[in-house]
Amino acid sequence: MATPAIEFRDVSLRYRLLAERGIVTLKEWVIRRLTTGMTYQELSALADVSFAVESGRTLGIIGHNGAGKSTLLRIAGGILAPTAGEAIIRGRIAPIIELGLGFEGELSGRENIFFNGALLGRSRNEMQERFDEIVDFSELGEFIEQPIRTYSTGMVARLAFAIATTVDAHILLLDEVLSVGDEQFRRKSKERIDSFRRAGVTILVVSHDLDAVEKMCDDAMWLEHGVIRRSGLAKEVVKAYRTSMDPGQAEPGVGGTVRLAGP
Ligand SMILES: Nc1ncnc2c1ncn2[C@@H]1O[C@H](COP(=O)(O)OP(=O)(O)O)[C@@H](O)[C@H]1O
Ligand SMILES: [Mg+2]
């Protein structure tokens, strides 16, 4: 196998949650921290996850809500550092497309294009050069001058997708972008993702749209409670996942019984 573009070696991520309730101000937080000592609860979002994505391949990540999919993508995008293990990313990453990430509500769409670019170390010049193309693809028109807080979720998603897919990148990270916006924009987005695949861009795509994962991805990974339940060719993993969700396919006689007690 060639050098992988993305490599996770026993990556774990634990979120720290404040166990105490009722803390509202920073001042109070500081006082409690100094006096009583704060207790934290830890939530394990990923546990010893290892995989590699060869350059130019598209990996679909599927699994139920809370499985750790977005967390994995944020680590790949350099937004979160793992609690343990190592994540190696080789190549220029496009901004992760995830609703509400990397945008400032009070700034206009125009300002956010530059803000978003700056977060990823793209120069103002580079963003300026791509500006018209981004606005054009996003179909926002004059709304580009309005604050983002006035946008619908579909509009935000369109802008996020347009920015991420217009800057030059070797690696594209997509979190649930196929399920927002209207049908026409989804089709346009899928076509653009296809053109990236043909150009050899490495893509990680999180989606609930199993048909799209089967069609768009070479490989798939099924996450469950922060661990890899199954990985392999997209078709096979999606099939196994579908089977697990279809009660008619479940193994009989496992667990309890169902009693139809009537009205
Ligand atoms: N910022 C956070 N702080 C604390 N817990 C979080 C945070 N983000 C996600 N979690 C928790 O981590 C787990 C994995 O979440 P996530 O990666 O968003 O899953 P998915 O994208 O598969 O729905 C969930 O239990 C979720 O509640
Ligand atoms: Mg998610």
- Sorted by where each starts, the structural domains of the chain and their CATH numbers stand as 1-17+42-94+170-245 (3.40.50.300), 97-168 (no CATH)
Output the CA torsion sign for 181, 228, 231, 219: positive
pLDDT digits (tens, 9 = 90+) for 126-176: 999 999 999 999 999 999 999 999 998 888 888 988 888 887 889 999 888
Distance 175 CA to ligand 2 centre (A): 7
Check pocket membership of 47 for ligand 1, CB cut-off 6 A.
no
For position 249, what pLDDT does the model report? 55
- Check whether 253 has a pLDDT greater than 60: no
pTM comes to: 0.81
* Residue in 13, 43, 49, 83 to alter for ligand 1 test, most ligand atoms within 8 A of Cβ: 43
Q: Which ligand neighbours the alpha carbon of 99 most closely?
A: 2
Instruction: Rank 24-28, 81-85, 98-102 by mean pLDDT and report only the highest.
Output: 81-85
Mean predicted lDDT score pLDDT of the chain: 87
Both tokens of residue 241? 């996942």
262 CA distance to ligand 2 middle (Å): 38
| 190 torsion bin: left (phi>0), alpha (psi -120 to 50), beta (else) | alpha
Distance 14 CA to ligand 1 centre (A): 10
Question: Other CB atoms closer than 10 Å to residue 118's CB: what's the count?
Answer: 13
Determine which of 7-21, 86-100, 199-213, 236-250 has the lowest per-residue pLDDT on average.
86-100
3-state DSSP assignment of residue 38 = coil
Residue 245 Cβ contacting ligand 1 at under 6 Å: no
pLDDT digits (tens, 9 = 90+) for 34-66: 776 666 788 999 999 999 999 999 999 999 999
**Tens of pLDDT, residues 67-92:** 999 999 999 988 899 999 999 999 98
pLDDT band at 217 (very low <50, low <70, confident <90, very high): very high
Query: How far, in Å, CA of 171 to CA of 6, rounded?
Result: 9
Asked if residue 45 has its Cβ within 6 Å of ligand 1, the reply is: yes
Q: Is the CB of 66 under 6 A from ligand 1?
A: yes
**Tokens 């170390």, residue?**
121
Collapsed DSSP state (helix, strand, coil) of residue 251 = coil
* Per-residue confidence (pLDDT) for residue 248, from 0 to 100: 66
